[in-house]
Structure 1
Amino acid sequence: MLVEGESDRVAVQALARRRGHDLADGRVAVVAMGGATSIGSFLARFGPSGADHRLLGLCDEAESPGVARALARAGVDGGALEELGFQVCRSDLEDELIRCLGVDAVLDVVAAEGELASFRLLQRQPAQRERSTTAQLRRFLGGRSGHKIRYAELLVDALPAGRAPAPLGRLVDAF
């Protein structure tokens, strides 16, 4: 399973755990590629010309054309990304999690981590004042080193039972 970054890997693993999937038992590896533009080397290693593993993946909408081209070059072709097992997040996984949970629930997670004052400080910055709370939360999650990774599991754990962002849920349920 190829995902763009470490926070995506953590979120996939957290949702799989919540849904009772044993990744190791299912011989599923979730591989963070260090960005979608690295997919070519991972396809060469794990795709039809390499180990020929069944491939699934998750990418951001902006990266999806490049992912589709790389899959076609690697011989993984035959339809839309979703049909090939690659799920697409509208903006990114953090945006999907925020929309699925709702702003108030995400703020509850931030508060539980003792970082609500830090988030409120970010909201007062001139560049952030006119942005939506969702956009401010995305900036907050991506603004500090390690924040996206840390909050990926926290946000997945905060999801109500049986709910998940559609791309993440489809990916986890595919294995």
Structure 2
Amino acid sequence: MPTSPQPGRDRGLRAVVLVEGHSDQLALQVLARRLGRDLAGEGIGVVAMSGATNIARYLDHYGPPGLDVTVAGLYDSAEERFFRRGLERIGRRPGPGPDGMAECGFFRCTADLEDELIRAIGAERVERLVEADGGIASFRRLQRQPAQRDRSLHDQLRRLMGGRAGGKYRYARLMAEAVDLDRVPRPLNAVLDHLPPPS
């Protein structure tokens, strides 16, 4: 996976949303479409950085040192320090905590995007999505593991999604398609609202 911006893909961009991984990218694109936004048609890119530690080079490329387009983003709570340092590097000075980051267009997921979507949909309903997708046998095996038996259904589902290659990406689409539009997690709504409206 590329860990640097790819300039050939930047033509016509008015804004970008920087996200940590491809599952976040997919979920945001699906939700934007369901909410009536054509991000590509609006000149807005959703860029997966292959990890929070790559934020500085993406901000250098898309922010004031580079293309100087509107830059927004989503981040996991544990990775805030990387995003904060990246913003400071390009001359932005976010205030304290997630509210300060939000003023700069960067919105925090409580733990991660999967956590936000499971809470918005409800763990029991997500379990039914896993079953409908053919993953219930694997999930039952995970639930029987000693380290998982006493954990909540919510946490077991997060472990399922994060514990196997492609799991986050697989369930990102399912959950983004399933969440009720009046229950879209706040960080996702907020980052879409922060973007420039269609011209």
Q: Same fold (TM over 0.5)?
A: yes
Matched, 1:10 2:26: yes
Deviation, structure 1 residue 19: 0.3
8 Å contact kept, 2:20–2:51:
yes
Given candidates 99, 102, 110, the residue that maps to 2:130 is: 110
Identity of aligned residues (%): 51
5-14 or 144-153: bigger deviation: 144-153
**Deviation of 1:78 (Å):** 4.6
State the partner residue of 2:56.
Answer: 40
Query: 1 CA distance for matches of 2:54 and 2:65?
Result: 16
8 Å CA contact 2:49, 2:55 repeated in 1: yes
Pick which of 163-172 and 83-92 moved more.
163-172
Aligned equivalents of 1:153 and 1:171: distance in 2?
Answer: 18
1:60–1:88 contact (8 Å) kept in structure 2: yes
Counterpart of 1:149? 169
C-alpha displacement of 1:27: 0.3
Distance 2:139 2:27 in 1: 22
1:90 matched residue in structure 2? 110
**Contact persistence 1:48–1:76 (CA under 8 A):** no
1:126 counterpart letter in structure 2 = P
In structure 2, runs of 5+ residues without a counterpart are 1-16
2: CA distance, partners of 1:36 / 1:53 = 20
1:73 aligns with 2:93: no
SS in 1 for 2:183: coil
The aligned amino acid for 2:193 is D
Whole-angstrom CA distance in 2 between matches of 1:105 and 1:170: 24
Identify unmatched segments of 5+ residues in structure 1.
Answer: none
Rounded Cα–Cα distance in structure 1 between residues aligned with 2:190 and 2:48: 18
- Taking the aligned partners of 2:40 and 2:82, their CA distance within structure 1 comes to 30
Which residue pairs with 2:14 in the alignment?
A: none
The CA RMSD over aligned residues, in Å, is: 1.1
| Structure 2 contact 63–69 (Cα < 8 Å) conserved | yes
Asked if structure 1 preserves the Cα contact closer than 8 Å seen for 2:130 and 2:136, the reply is yes
Runs of 4+ in structure 1 over 6 Å off: none
| 1:100 and 1:164 in contact (8 A); partners too | yes
Kept in 1: contact 2:84–2:94 (CA 8 A):
no
TM-score, length of structure 2 as denominator length: 0.85
